[in-house]
């Protein structure tokens, strides 16, 4: 198993349940990938993945199977416009959307065309969260061009772009309309939930069940053999080691998969050439009192803030994210701003983040008692126009009988649900086609 993110650990867990002997190799000093929770000074900070959407059945089913407690977030979503946070109820989205003053009446009427278009695509099976091959035909324009064509500039500025910024930390002119359409169906409507104790509780639970996980052990190469696969990795002690295995799941980020996996390099190359990964910055700010809002998340359109995409009010997401009586907000940066600010100091990032926080919540002035900065050099896939066509080409050519299977959220709509779904799929394919083999591994030691 190459990669100990949520996709790789899910595949390892499923194979182990089926009787395989499994070893997982992870380059980083910790498992979990972009699912990470930091505990400091009584605060519980989700620095990456933050919640489950109501339409994430695969991820929530795994969480329940692992006996994790799922907590509903506050049902309110905020959109900031003209100096004020406007509230929408996620569980009553149509009703609150019709009554909100975020958009003018004429724009709301024009947005019906977007809603109907997305509904038609969904009914035709083109927007399935874990397999968007059918959506390749829709991958012809940016989310901005799509919304402006159907509903105008205001609809893009205060409807489409806040959604793309919340989903991908990217302005609407930087992503395909497929991302917006899929997000409307799979991530926005309905209630959101999170895990008690932090989103990384699911990683901890998987690690407690998967018996062998090698950290600081990057996979260097992966090749087919006559009756299995040959995996080279660099162990944490610096030695180069070899594993002869019956099969392997590649659950690394795409650029690494394209580097290490010789058998699939021809297929991976075009996708890797097209799909780029963004950088991200998350700044957590703890306060001695909570913000005056019932929302768990406030979206900031680019027209209101070029650098900050959204603020997650963590104590409204789940009560255990902050000490009693305190508040916690997470400030999420837009991808281009994150790239530009990545070299700046923590103090500079905190000061800039506080500018936006205090503009929205001036009551938090002089209440800060905790800060934490997380930089993500490799964050989310940037699904520009044409990327979903390349994803469809790659996934359509995947061989379910191959000894090398792929898992990860770059294979469809980005998110924990997709990662878990592809981890399940990779494990099921190996069990179906190679489950009669004796599942052992043999290591050879060489020094390099």
Shared-domain flag, residues 396 and 424 = yes
Residue 90: its pLDDT value, please? 82
Shared-domain flag, residues 166 and 136 = yes
Domain-embedded: residue 180: yes
Shared-domain flag, residues 246 and 390 = yes
Look at residue 88 and tell me whether its pLDDT is greater than 70.
Answer: yes
Q: Are strands 70-72 and 52-53 parallel, antiparallel or unpaired?
A: unpaired
Shared-domain flag, residues 289 and 373 = yes
**pLDDT tens by residue, 17-47:** 999 999 999 999 999 999 999 999 999 999 9
Q: What angle do CA 412, 58, 271 make, to 5 degrees?
A: 15
Domain-embedded: residue 88: no
CATH number at residue 63: 3.90.660.20
Shared-domain flag, residues 212 and 268 = yes
Domain-embedded: residue 58: yes
**pLDDT tens by residue, 217-269:** 999 999 988 889 999 999 999 999 999 999 999 999 999 999 999 878 888 88
In the predicted model, what is the mean pLDDT of residues 403-427? 91
Q: Are 237 and 47 in contact (CB under 8 A)?
A: no
Domain-embedded: residue 367: yes
Q: How confident is the model at residue 91 (pLDDT cuts 50, 70, 90)?
A: confident
In 6-104, which ranges are continuous DSSP H helix?
6-17, 57-65, 93-99
Show the domain range for 374: 37-73+192-197+279-378
Shared-domain flag, residues 318 and 338 = yes
**pLDDT tens by residue, 123-151:** 999 988 777 888 999 999 999 999 999 99
Domain limit, last residue, from 378, 395, 424: 378
Residue 265: its pLDDT value, please? 80
Domain-embedded: residue 11: yes
CATH number at residue 27: 3.50.50.60
| E strand residue ranges, 271-429 | 276-277, 280-287, 295-299, 308-313, 327-333, 368-376, 381-382, 404-406
Domain-embedded: residue 221: yes
Domain limit, last residue, from 132, 162, 188: 188
239 backbone dihedrals φ, ψ, rounded to 5°: -75, 145
Shared-domain flag, residues 272 and 389 = yes
Domain limit, last residue, from 134, 165, 188: 188
**pLDDT tens by residue, 40-81:** 999 999 999 999 887 688 999 999 999 999 999 999 999 999
Domain-embedded: residue 82: no
Q: How confident is the model at residue 436 (pLDDT cuts 50, 70, 90)?
A: low
């Amino acid at each position: 198993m190459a990669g100990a993110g949520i996709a790789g650990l899910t595949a390892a867990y499923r194979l182990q349940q089926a009787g395989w002997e499994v070893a997982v190799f992870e380059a980083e000093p910790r498992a979990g990938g972009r699912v990470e929770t930091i505990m400091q000074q009584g605060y519980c900070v989700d620095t990456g993945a933050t919640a489950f959407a109501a339409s994430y059945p695969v991820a929530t089913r795994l969480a329940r199977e692992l006996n994790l407690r799922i907590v509903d977030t506050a049902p309110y979503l905020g959109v900031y416009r003209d100096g004020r946070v406007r509230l929408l109820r996620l569980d009553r989205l149509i009703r609150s959307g019709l009554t909100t003053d975020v958009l003018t009446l004429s724009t709301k009427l024009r947005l019906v065309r977007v809603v109907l278009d997305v509904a038609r695509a969904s009914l035709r099976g083109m927007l399935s969260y874990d397999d968007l091959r059918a959506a390749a035909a829709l991958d012809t324009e940016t989310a901005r061009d799509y919304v402006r064509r159907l509903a105008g500039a205001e609809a893009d500025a205060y409807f489409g772009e806040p959604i793309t910024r919340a989903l991908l930390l990217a302005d609407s002119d930087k992503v395909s309309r497929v991302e917006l359409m899929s997000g409307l169906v799979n991530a926005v409507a309905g209630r959101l939930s999170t895990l008690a104790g932090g989103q990384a509780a699911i990683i901890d639970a998987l690690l407690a069940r998967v018996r062998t996980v090698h950290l600081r052990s990057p996979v260097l190469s992966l090749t087919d053999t006559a009756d299995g696969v040959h995996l080279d990795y660099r162990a944490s002690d610096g030695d180069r080691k070899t594993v002869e295995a019956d099969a392997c799941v590649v659950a690394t980020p795409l650029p690494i998969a394209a580097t290490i996996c010789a058998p699939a390099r021809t297929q991976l190359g075009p996708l890797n050439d097209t799909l780029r990964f963004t950088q991200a910055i998350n700044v957590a700010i703890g306060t001695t009192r909570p913000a005056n809002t019932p929302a768990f998340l406030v979206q900031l359109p680019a027209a209101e803030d070029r650098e900050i995409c959204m603020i997650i009010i963590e104590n409204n997401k789940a009560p255990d994210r902050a000490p009693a009586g305190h508040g916690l907000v997470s400030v999420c940066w837009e991808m281009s701003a994150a790239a530009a600010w990545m070299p700046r100091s923590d103090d500079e990032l905190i000061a800039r983040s506080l500018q936006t926080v205090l503009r929205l919540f001036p009551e938090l002035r002089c209440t800060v008692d905790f800060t934490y900065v997380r930089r993500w050099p490799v964050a989310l896939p940037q699904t520009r126009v044409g990327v979903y066509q390349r994803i469809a080409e790659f996934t359509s050519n995947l061989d379910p009988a191959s000894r090398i299977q792929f898992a990860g959220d770059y294979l469809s709509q980005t998110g924990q649900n997709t990662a878990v779904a592809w981890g399940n799929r990779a494990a099921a394919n190996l069990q179906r086609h190679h489950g009669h083999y004796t599942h052992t591994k043999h290591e050879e030691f060489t020094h390099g």
